[in-house]
Structure 1
Amino acid sequence: MDLTQLMLILATVVGVVDGETIKAKNNHGETATVKLACIDIPAQKYRRDAATQRLKQLLVQNSPVVIRFADTSKNDQIVGEVFLNNQSINLQLVKEGKVVVHKASVEKDCYESRTQYLVAEANAKQRGLGLWEKSRYVMDGNKNK
């Protein structure tokens, strides 16, 4: 197991940037942008807006969270899985059909929980939840990044 898989960051939510990005402050008062690992949102504005609104409902300002560090993005954002009350917010968004599983990221950044992500997405799709509502969802020509 890679040491970075064990890095947990205790933080407080400062705000939601979009449906897959938050701002959080650690115990030392340092603020960072955190990209939620293992998920992706379609490019359509209304889809992004729905995911953003739901994330704002789940992570209100000053919510205490734990971030499981997964990686650092090209623009020096933390990439991680965000937990509130011991529940993965990333996985919750997939369960509700607000986002899809980012196939490459789930293999790399959420390896141990990848099955949960894939099953959650399949269930959301089968139940027609969120972006699967009309069962016609195709992402970028059926390429799931």
Structure 2
Amino acid sequence: MELLELILVLATVVGVADGNTIRVKDNAGQTITIKLACINAPEATDQPYSLAATQRLKQLLPSQSPVVIRSTQQLKTGRTVAEVFVDNRSVNLLLVESGNAVVDPESLQNCSESKTQFLIAEANAKNKHLGLWQQSKVKFKFYAK
């Protein structure tokens, strides 16, 4: 296990940029852009369900919400890839459960402890036709890198 996976940061939500990107302020007062790990949500405003994904994330993480961040990766763009927790629940997982995001197979290894939960949540959302699974085919652009 890498040291980065062991670091938990207490932070406060500053804002939601899109369906899988937030900005937080850590205890040192530094503002950090977070890309939610192990998932992808529609980001471009011209994509179906992008507004719904963003609105759901805003509901889960209103401004000034206290969160715990488990960093998994630092991108060259300066963004941190992380799993975000509120009230001991993974926000990343909650987005998949509600059908507002899908599992990102390329980064799922970053959530190895909860990998099975992510896959089960996606299967349940798909079976129940929740969120973006209401479409006959789910496809959208990934902007993870």
TM-score where L is the length of structure 1: 0.90
Residues 106, 114 of structure 1: 8 Å contact kept = yes
Matched, 1:113 2:110: no
Residues 131, 137 of structure 1: 8 Å contact kept = no
Q: Which has the higher helix share?
A: 1
Residues 15, 63 of structure 2: 8 Å contact kept = yes
Deviation, structure 1 residue 13: 0.2
Higher mean Cα deviation, 46-55 or 114-123? 46-55
Matched, 1:89 2:73: no
Matched, 1:28 2:34: no
Structure 2: distance between partners of 1:70 and 1:2? 9
Could you list the per-position Cα deviations for residues 74-95 of structure 1 after superposition, in whole angstroms to 9, with x for gaps in the alignment? 2010100000000000000000
Structure 2: distance between partners of 1:36 and 1:137? 23
Q: Tell me how large the CA RMSD over aligned residues is.
A: 1.5
Structure 2: distance between partners of 1:140 and 1:32? 26
Gap regions ≥5 residues in structure 1: none
Structure 2: distance between partners of 1:49 and 1:138? 15
Structure 1: distance between partners of 2:3 and 2:112? 14
- Indicate the residue corresponding to 2:80 in structure 1: 78
| Equivalenced residues, count | 139
Matches within 5 A, 1:1-145: 1-42=1-42, 44-107=46-109, 109-134=110-135, 136-139=136-139
- Residue type matched to 1:103 in 2? P
Deviation, structure 1 residue 139: 2.0
Deviation, structure 1 residue 15: 0.5
Could you list the per-position Cα deviations for residues 79-132 of structure 1 after superposition, in whole angstroms to 9, with x for gaps in the alignment? 00000000000000000000100001112x111211110010000001111011
TM-score where L is the length of structure 2: 0.90
- Residue type matched to 1:67 in 2? I
Deviation, structure 1 residue 133: 1.6
Residues 39, 92 of structure 2: 8 Å contact kept = yes
Structure 2: distance between partners of 1:114 and 1:81? 12
Partner-residue secondary structure (3-state), 1:137: coil
Moved over 4 A (4+): none
Residues 12, 63 of structure 1: 8 Å contact kept = yes
Higher mean Cα deviation, 65-74 or 37-46? 37-46
